[in-house]
């Protein structure tokens, strides 16, 4: 995604501006309260960073996570450029905990399918800034498995995003 013309060349944002705007508005609606902001402002910079690191992993007193959880999947697979761009953008925004569960290989044009009569294998993958798993199943299998609580300690993310896919995703390939 970076241009090879030079190190000083700006990174082109592969995300459509409408998607970025929509994600920003969803995440902006989940901003901390004024009391939380004033408490963080009075703490020293080191203390604030330590508290934020703890808050991202530790649940609040009522058992809910401190920041909203966003679950990502992608029919292009765990190594797709679109998924990497989406993870990078959400992690950089720092407003949510990013979790990924995606197929181990490209499953485009079969996004509605589910795996039957086969065992679905899942394994942890390194993904900077996100907790991630790859599976032998389809994108639907991935989301279903993620929501089951078997991979992640939660069963209800604030938002589930599938994409960013390569090319048009208009459903022309779907046959009923």
The confidence band for 164, taking pLDDT boundaries of 50, 70 and 90, is confident
Higher pLDDT pick, 107 / 26: 107
Query: Do the domain assignments include residue 87?
Result: yes
* pTM of full prediction above 0.95: no
**pLDDT for the residue numbered 163:** 85
Q: Is residue 111 part of a domain?
A: yes
What's the pLDDT tens digit per position in 43-63? 444 444 444 544 444 555 555
Q: Is residue 78 part of a domain?
A: yes
Expressed as residue numbers, the domain containing 74 is 17-30+67-162
Please count the CA atoms within 13 angstroms of the CA of 176 that sit on its side-chain side: 2
| Number of domains within the chain | 1
Choose among 69, 65, 80: nearest CA to 147: 69
**Tokens representing residue 143 in the block:** 């989301």
Q: What is the mean pLDDT of the chain?
A: 76
Evaluate whether residue 171 is within a structural domain. Answer: no
Sheet holding 69-73, edge to edge: 122-127, 130-135, 97-103, 69-73, 159-162
Establish how many alpha carbons lie within 13 A of residue 55's alpha carbon, considering only the half-sphere containing its beta carbon.
15
- Please give the pLDDT value at position 56: 47
Cβ-based burial of 111 (10 A; exposed 0-12, middle 13-18, buried ≥19): buried
């Amino acid at each position: 995604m970076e241009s090879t013309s030079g190190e000083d060349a700006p990174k082109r944002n592969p995300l459509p501006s409408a998607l970025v705007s929509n994600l920003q508005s969803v995440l902006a609606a989940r901003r901390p309260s004024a009391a939380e902001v004033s408490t963080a402002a009075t703490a020293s910079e080191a203390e604030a960073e330590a508290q934020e690191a703890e808050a991202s992993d530790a649940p609040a007193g009522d058992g809910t996570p401190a920041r909203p959880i966003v679950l990502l999947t992608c029919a292009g697979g765990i190594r797709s450029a679109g998924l990497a761009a989406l993870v990078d953008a959400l992690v950089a925004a720092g407003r949510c905990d990013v979790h990924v569960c995606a197929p181990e290989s490209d499953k485009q044009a079969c996004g509605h399918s589910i795996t039957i009569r086969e065992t679905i294998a899942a394994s942890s993958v390194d993904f900077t800034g996100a907790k991630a798993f790859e599976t032998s199943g389809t994108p639907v299998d991935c989301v279903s498995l993620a929501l089951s609580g078997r991979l992640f300690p939660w069963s209800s993310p604030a938002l589930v995003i599938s994409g960013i896919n390569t090319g048009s995703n208009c459903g022309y390939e779907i046959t009923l």
